[in-house]
Structure 1
Amino acid sequence: MRPNNYYLAAFSAFFIWGFFSLALKPLHNYSSLDILFYRVFFSVALMVIINVIFRRNVMLQNWNYFKAMTPKQKRSVIVLTLGGGLFLSSNWFVFIYVMNHISVKAASLAYLICPILTTILAFVLLKEQLSKWQWFAVSIGAFSCVLLSLNHFEDIFYSLITAATYAMYLVSQRKNSELDKFLVLTIQLVFTAIILLPFYPKHSGALPTESLFYSCLLIIVVFFTIIPLFLNLYALKGINSSAVGIMIYINPIIGFMLALFYFHEKVSTLQLFSYFLIIISIIVFNKKIIFSKKAKIVPAEIVI
Structure 2
Amino acid sequence: MKKHKYYFAAFSAFFIWGFFSLALKPISSYPSLDILFYRVFFSVLTMTAINLIFRKKNIRKNWNDFSAMSSKKKRSILVLTLLGGMILASNWFIFIYVVNHVSVKAGSLAYLICPILTTVFAFFLLHEKLGKWKLLAVFISIVSCTLLSLNHFQDIFYSLAVAATYALYLVSQRKNSELDKFLVLNIQLLFIALLILPFYPKYSGVIPTEPLFYTCLFCIVVFFTIVPLFLNLYALKGINSSTVGILMYINPIINFTLAIFYFKEQVTLLQMFSYSLILISIIVFNKNIIFGKKHKSKVIAESSKSILK
TM tier relative to shorter chain: 0.7 to 0.9
Q: 1:231, CA displacement in angstroms? A: 6.0
What is aligned with 1:301?
Answer: none
Q: TM-score, structure 1 length as denominator?
A: 0.81
Q: Does 1:92 align with 2:75?
A: no
Alignment partner, residue 257 of structure 1: 257
Structure 1 residue ranges without an equivalent (≥5): 297-304
Residue 228 of structure 1: CA displacement?
4.1
Question: Are residues 36 and 191 of structure 1, via their aligned partners in 2, closer, same or farther at CA, if it must alter by over 3 Å?
Answer: same
| Cα distance, 1:174–1:33 mapped onto 2, change above 3 Å | same
**Percent identity over paired residues:** 70
Q: For the residues of structure 2 that align with 1:66 and 1:27, how far apart are their CA atoms?
A: 41
Are the aligned partners of 2:24 and 2:100 in contact in 1 as well (CA < 8 Å)?
A: no
d(CA) in 2 for partners of 1:136, 1:2: 35
Give the number of equivalent residue pairs.
294
Map 1:184-223; keep pairs closer than 5 Å.
184-223=184-223
Q: Distance in 1 between matches of 2:260 and 2:100?
A: 22
Higher gyration radius (CA): 2
Equivalence for 1:66:
66
Would you say the 8 A contact 1:109–1:145 is kept in 2?
no
Aligned-residue CA RMSD in angstroms? 3.4
Cα shift at 1:74: 0.7
Residue by residue over 1:151-183, the C-alpha shift from the partner in whole angstroms, topping out at 9 and shown as x without a partner, is 344665555444332221110111110001110
Amino acid at match of 1:165: T
2:10–2:231 CA contact under 8 A, matched in 1: yes
**TM value normalised by structure 2:** 0.80
Taking a change above 3 Å as real, the CA distance of residues 106 and 278 of structure 1, as seen in their structure-2 partners, is: closer
SS of structure 2 residue aligned to 1:215: helix
1:278 maps to: 278
Residue 301 of structure 2 corresponds to which residue in structure 1? none
Contact 1:113 1:145 (C-alpha < 8 Å) held by counterparts: no
Match of 1:292, SS? Answer: helix
Deviation at 1:204, TM superposition (A): 1.5
- The one-letter code matched in structure 2 to 1:293 is K
Question: Aligned with 1:59: secondary structure?
Answer: helix
- Gap change, CA 1:195 and 1:21, over 3 Å in 2: same
Aligned equivalents of 2:222, 2:182: Cα separation in 1: 13
The DSSP-based 3-state class of the residue aligned with 2:293 is coil
Distance 1:114 1:290, change over 3 A: closer
- Correspondence 1:77 to 2:77: yes
| Structure 2 CA distance for aligned equivalents of residues 82 and 53 of structure 1 | 24
When residues 195 and 68 of structure 1 are mapped into structure 2, their CA distance, relative to the original with a 3 A threshold, is same
For 2:176 and 2:7, the matched residues in 1 are separated by 18
What is aligned with 1:181?
181
- Going from structure 1 to structure 2, the CA distance change for 1:9 and 1:65 (only over 3 Å counts) comes to same
The structure-2 alpha-carbon separation of the partners of 1:169 and 1:231, relative to structure 1 and needing over 3 Å to count, comes to farther
- Matched with 1:49 is 49
119-128 or 37-46: which moved more? Answer: 119-128
